[in-house]
Chains A and B, each alone.
Chain A
Amino acid sequence: MKKRILIVDDDAHIRLLLHRTLEELELQGAEIHFAEDGIDGVEKARALHPDLTILDVMMPRMNGIDACREIRKDPELSSVYVIILTARGQTMPPMDPAFGPHEYMTKPFDPDRIVSRAAELLGFEIDMDF
């Protein structure tokens, strides 16, 4: 079964940046999917059952926090690992740990860190040493 990554961000360049960053994993057989807002993201998550979902916070229609809650609430999606990309200083509403993200990463993020973390989570081995 192929490992799936779902990237949910309304900014096309950020989606492209994450795609390029995670290209390494794509080469190793991971599937990368995209969604442009929270609602789209939740629908895609339900359809794809991704192993890793990366959510932006501020998005039209449904924000990343609500999308995270929807995904985490869904018993079918219990195996999804959720990372929320937050900007430093952005106030996060207190969340029930059961429905919150597994991890936060602050923007501007370090591509190396994202790829190594994603590799670790999905069980890939990548060569970061170059």
Chain B
Amino acid sequence: MHRTTWAAFSLLVAGVAVLLTIYVVMPNVDERGMDQDLSRAMAVVVAALGTAIGLTGVFYTSAAKARRSLRSLETAVRSRQRRAPDLGGSALVEPLGRAVHDLIDQLESAGQAVVDRQSLQDVLDSMPDSLVVVDEVGVVQLANRTFAERLRYERPAEIVGKTVAALTVEAHPLWYAALLESGTLVAADVTFKAHSGGVVSMKTSGRRLSDSHGGPGRIVLVGRDDAELTTLTQELLETTERLQDSERFFQNLFDAMDDPITVIAENYEILQANRQARLTFGRDIIGRRCYQAFRMRDEPCLECPARMTFAQNMSVSVEHRMFGNAITRISTYPLLSKEGEFKAVINHKRDVTKERQLEDLKVSFLMAVSHDLRTPLTSILGFNKLNIRRLQRHVIPAMAAGPEEARTALKKAISDMEIMASEGERLGRLVNDVLDLSKLEAGKLRLNMEDMDLAPLIEAAIIATSALARDKPILVIPDLPHTCPTAWGDRDRLAQVLVNLLSNAIKFTDHGEVRVSVSVQPTELLVAVFDSGVGIAPDELSKIFERFRQVGEAQAGRTAGTGLGLPICKELITLHHGRIWAESKHGQGSTFFFTLRRTDALSQLERSADLTPHVTTF
């Protein structure tokens, strides 16, 4: 239809041109010096004629080409509508892309009149897949409705003029660079940004087409929605965002710490440092070796806690006396991956100078006080004992025939003096316990660890406490296995613990038995001190290891303790890397348990660590 119209129009213009030539130009050929205006008009007409003929030809051929292109585009679109199982890469994109490319060329060169842009848009909009045409500098020239809808734009025209970078999630999409490089993109996962926020992932194929001169021309992209991929990408992006949030949160937390904290790799490289670490050791600390950054050394330190943590996969704490009198405590913790794989070491430094000075002060104060308490106590106890002896030796025999009243008074005096002696001794024990406990808490008490047999220790403790059970119908029984592995401990301190637990058991048992048993466990020995005594009420059970807490304080007739025995036992057992606890039913006796490490379960390194002063593990 259009073709015929254009042919008729061309013929008409050609006819007018011929007539004009015959009637206006031909009669003046022989007249020299013809009118200037006329000749100018003639030239204009000739020019107009030429242009008209030329244009007609161009219009005609363009229109024919455009029609062909549009038809092939329709064919291509229809073939795509049949929905090939996948995008098929460039084989399918090629004819489609070529058709669109040519059409746009024609639109540009021939103008809107030749092919109605809207009909091209209509054809593209009928595609179920997304289509977008990008010019050679990456600006969108054309997009179809499917693409606009997927990206939640109202009209495809809104996308025109945007750059590829503005439409995709990445600022410099790799796939786009690859497409520019190779000219082809086959079913790549491309994630576009939706207008309303969020993302849309498409399997996208593309083709870079050449222009009419064979140079690089437009890029046609065809994308098929991938709901699964979109969801995955959306989740991935959200997760990444949450991760980034949490990373920011932890970085802030890390930086808010007052102490220098670093993360150190096995090759001693500092991987992470918080603000305080950067302030203390320099901004460039990350990437340096810890021994260089922290101690200005050329090689790893001899007493490296990080190395111990790497070797044994456990936390280590070391105190270093630095320049002057400053004391720094360095604690290292293993940093494990989810699979339990060793990754790095967290290094936490803390200036403990003040704490140590205070502890030293406290201990020396307590030692001075206890010395000053002990001197008068020695006099009181000593003279009291001498007086009892004098009275018993010299006065009682002399009073044998004396008046009844005087003899009774004398007996009462001696009995009261005996109370004074026992209370004085208790005061002495209290002084000792306070001193022991404060030394334990200040870490001033060093254990003399050795490989030791528990049986003789238990027997000795039973003998030492036998006097307490003398006036009661109690049986104190050791219950030991025939063969028992040796324990790793401090003989004197464990004796102290056993005597303490046994005295408590005997003190709170009026009849029945007190039994000390040892059971062998894979890496530990479990020592239990059982009694058939009064037991401990459930609400008191949790408090018995607290200081100055005595169970059954109100119970008359029992020898009062210092209230520090169990706290000392707890500190001593903890120092042995053991645990101590109690189980009891009120009125049905109690059992105190503690564990000790078996020597055969310890590595040489662990044993030597116990022998190394100033290293404590926790």
Chain A residues with CB under 8 Å of chain B are: 11, 13-14, 17, 20-21, 58, 87-91, 107-112, 130
Q: Is B605 an interface residue (CB 8 A)?
A: no
Select the stretch in B57-65, B86-94, B103-111, B382-390 that faces chain A. B382-390
B residues 350-409 near A (Cβ < 8 Å) are 367, 370-371, 374-379, 381-383, 385-386, 389, 392-393
The reply to whether B386 and A89 form a contact with Cβ atoms under 8 Å apart is no
Q: Contacts A11-B375, A58-B371, A108-B428; is A89 near B382 (CB within 8 Å)? A: no
Instruction: Give Cα A107 to B371, complex, Å.
Output: 9
Residues from chain B with Cβ under 8 Å of A130 in the complex = 389, 392-393
Q: Which residues of B are in contact with A by a Cβ distance under 8 Å?
A: 367, 370-371, 374-379, 381-383, 385-386, 389, 392-393, 424-425, 428, 432, 435-436, 439
Q: Contacts of A58 on B, CB cut-off 8 Å?
A: 371
Q: Which chain B positions have C-beta within 8 A of A87?
A: 370-371, 374
Docked Cα-Cα span, A89 to B389, in Å, equals 29
| Contact of A88 with B382 in the complex, beta carbons under 8 Å | no
Q: How far is the CB of B403 from chain A (nearest CB, A)?
A: 24
Report which of B382, B393, B425 forms a contact with A17, defined as CB distance below 8 A. B382
Whether B386 and A14, one on each chain, are in contact in the complex, defined by CB atoms closer than 8 angstroms, is no
Inter-chain contact A17/B386, CB cutoff 8 Å: yes
Which residue of chain A is the closest to B394 with respect to CB atoms?
Answer: A130
Nearest Cβ on chain B to A65's Cβ, whole angstroms:
14
Q: A14-B378, A17-B382 are in contact. Are A88 and B435 (CB under 8 A)?
A: yes
B371 touches A21 (CB 8 A): no
Contact B367 A89 (CB under 8 A): yes
Partner of B378, one of A20, A90, A107, A112: A107
Selected contact of A14 from candidates B379, B389, B432, CB within 8 Å: B379
Query: Is B386 a contact partner of A13 (Cβ separation < 8 A)?
Result: no
Contact B375 A107 (CB under 8 A): yes
B-side contacts of A90, CB under 8 Å? 367, 371
- Let me know if B435 and A17 touch, CB within 8 A: no
- Chain B residues within an 8 Å CB radius of A108: 374, 377-378, 381-382, 424-425, 428
Contacts of B439 in A (CB 8 A): 89
Q: Which of A11, A20, A88, A91 contacts B386 (CB 8 A)?
A: A20
Name 6 extra pairs, CB < 8 A, besides A13-B383, A20-B382. A13-B379, A14-B382, A17-B378, A20-B383, A20-B386, A111-B382
Across-interface contacts of A11 in B (CB, < 8 A): 375, 379
